[in-house]
Structure 1
Amino acid sequence: MTTTKPTTNIQYAYLTGFEPFGKDMTKNRSWDTIIQLNNEQIAITNDHQNEKAQGQNYDPPVTEIIHCVTERLPVEYEPIPKLLMPKHRHGTTAISNSSSNDKSPVYIPPNKPFRYFVHCGAGVPGIVRIEVQAFKYGYFAPGNGGPTDIPPDNCVPGYPYSMLKTSVDVFGLVKYLQEEKKWGNDIVISQNAGAYLCEYTYYVSLAENQLKRDGVKTLVPKDSSDFDDQNSGVCCVDRITRYLSLASKEPSSGRNDDYNGDGDKASDPNALILFVHVPPSGGPYNDAQLAQIIRDILVWLNREYRKGNSKV
């Protein structure tokens, strides 16, 4: 059996919540939940007990650190792709180390991919919902920017997929949270992310990752000028051509190792993406418990989708 020294791996998680929305709102529980994990490092040790018990060869013990990076998102449509796109394409390079929140900034090295994207929003009272899918169309409710804060054509611009599902086994995750972690039946599976900023954010994150898996070089813009063009009804010919060439393409279920588009080595085609809706206020969980549920989700993702696992 192998007896080499243990190793430590660091993975990065990008966690988001939202600013307050609506009149007279001063807080958003999604951000109150996520900010508790800012710059937290979650240690997970894989000591290969199953392999040892069976007398099999095994890798040295591995301590995996999940470093949590948090960001508060605006309740406005236009900024969302501009904020999420760099995290998918350039990983930690897109993160400023001069944190604007209350906790002291921690150094985050550049050029590291985000392995986990967990977005959080305020949902309905009484339950935590793990969302399965997000749609490109159907965004009619205005954001905090006022009556005109609605995306062009009520859809997410620039992506060819009409609907996307997370690659995460949401059924297995919910079962783990309910039974193994004893959080009970107030954590449920949802297939309706709300057709608002929550679903819009989820779709953008899923679509960015799907572009990497499909090996698409350039589809959505690198800067804000293209979004401005779309908002004014102008779209350049080469973007129309690229869109039409992909519009009927079904999302790939596998990795394309030839992807070398706008992303770089800090772009992970197998990133794991989830959206979690927490109750806007009240029970059944307090803010500290909701933060622990997010930690439990990250630990489960690491366990179930560890490198070399057949699920990856």
Structure 2
Amino acid sequence: MDNSKRNVVVTGFGPFGEHTINPSWVAVQELKKLGLGSNVDLHVYEVPVEYQTVQSLVPSLWKQYHPQLVVHVGVSGMATTVTLEKCGRNHGYKGLDNSSFCPDSQCCIVGGPDCINSVIDMESVCKRVTASGLGVAVSVSKDAGRYLCDYTYYTSLYLSHGRSAFIHVPPLGKPYSGEDLGRALQAIIREMLKLLEQAEEKINSQQHIH
């Protein structure tokens, strides 16, 4: 196995409500076509809109791939930009999923912190991608919406000590095509990986000093 290759896992969500084809999964499939460069092994998964599946699937992805980064992508009917979520929240899950289930505790991890921030500086990613002239508007948000998007993000952040990201995309054609969204995901995730690598270099150089 080529050790210089990094595993990156990107998930989109399956159908729910009026989204018979979930734009997040369309965007992730477009990203898969584009790839993240020759030194990244990109693994993509479609996640059903079900709390219990997320509870088992997210840990299994971390175990199987030991990824450098996991990025979850979801659709937001209210979004008009590609939105980078800064944090996941533990409490307030009252919405029923596709199997009409909702956690009794209404939280992700009983006893977990209220809010977990990503280690990735989303403001910085947003600035860099915007400056690159991609033609897709990118913004940053602190509220992933307390449904399966937020639930998945919190679960991933908890397991990865913050080495996860969540990106909300608008519905297709409002205003972006699947291809546009795929290009945006590619640019955003590349910036995220650069930031992570810089942070790792910093940590490594500090360890060498002592």
Q: Would you say the 8 A contact 2:172–2:178 is kept in 1?
A: no
1:273 equivalent to 2:164? Answer: yes
- Counterpart amino acid of 1:187? V
Equivalent residue number for residue 131 of structure 1: 85
Q: Structure 1 CA distance, aligned partners of 2:91 and 2:36?
A: 36
Q: Would you say the 8 A contact 1:118–1:275 is kept in 2?
A: yes
Inter-CA distance 27–115: structure 2 relative to 1 (3 Å threshold): same
- 1:100-249 paired onto structure 2 within 5 Å: 113-123=66-76, 124-146=78-100, 149-158=101-110, 160-183=112-135, 186-210=137-161
Q: Would you say the 8 A contact 2:134–2:184 is kept in 1?
A: no
Does 1 or 2 have the higher relative contact order (CA < 8 Å, sep 6+)? 2
- Counterpart amino acid of 1:18? F
Pairing partner for 2:28 from 30, 34, 55 = 34
Per the normalisation by structure 2, the TM-score is 0.87
- Counterpart amino acid of 2:91? Y
Q: Structure 2 CA distance, aligned partners of 1:195 and 1:311?
A: 33
Task: Return the offset for 1:86.
Answer: 1.7
Post-superposition CA distance 1:79-103 (Å, at most 9, x none): 1020001222x232xxxxxxxxxxx
Task: Return the offset for 1:41.
Answer: 4.3
Q: Would you say the 8 A contact 1:15–1:118 is kept in 2?
A: yes
> Where in structure 2 are there 5+ consecutive unaligned residues?
205-210
Bigger Rg, which one: 1
1:291 equivalent to 2:178? Answer: no
Equivalent residue number for residue 75 of structure 1: 49
Q: Would you say the 8 A contact 2:93–2:146 is kept in 1?
A: yes
Task: Return the offset for 1:305.
Answer: 2.2
- Counterpart amino acid of 1:141? G
Equivalent residue number for residue 256 of structure 1: none
Equivalent residue number for residue 91 of structure 1: 64
Aligned length, in residue pairs: 201
Task: Return the offset for 1:165.
Answer: 0.5
Equivalent residue number for residue 310 of structure 1: 202
Q: Structure 2 CA distance, aligned partners of 1:34 and 1:288?
A: 10
Q: Structure 2 CA distance, aligned partners of 1:143 and 1:136?
A: 16
Q: Structure 1 CA distance, aligned partners of 2:182 and 2:74?
A: 13
Identity among equivalent positions (%) equals 25
SS in 2 for 1:141: coil
SS in 2 for 1:171: helix
SS in 2 for 1:173: helix
The answer to which structure has the higher helix fraction is 2
SS in 2 for 1:277: strand
Equivalent residue number for residue 11 of structure 2: 16
Task: Return the offset for 1:302.
Answer: 2.6
Task: Return the offset for 1:76.
Answer: 1.0
Q: Structure 2 CA distance, aligned partners of 1:39 and 1:9?
A: 21
Q: Would you say the 8 A contact 2:31–2:182 is kept in 1?
A: yes
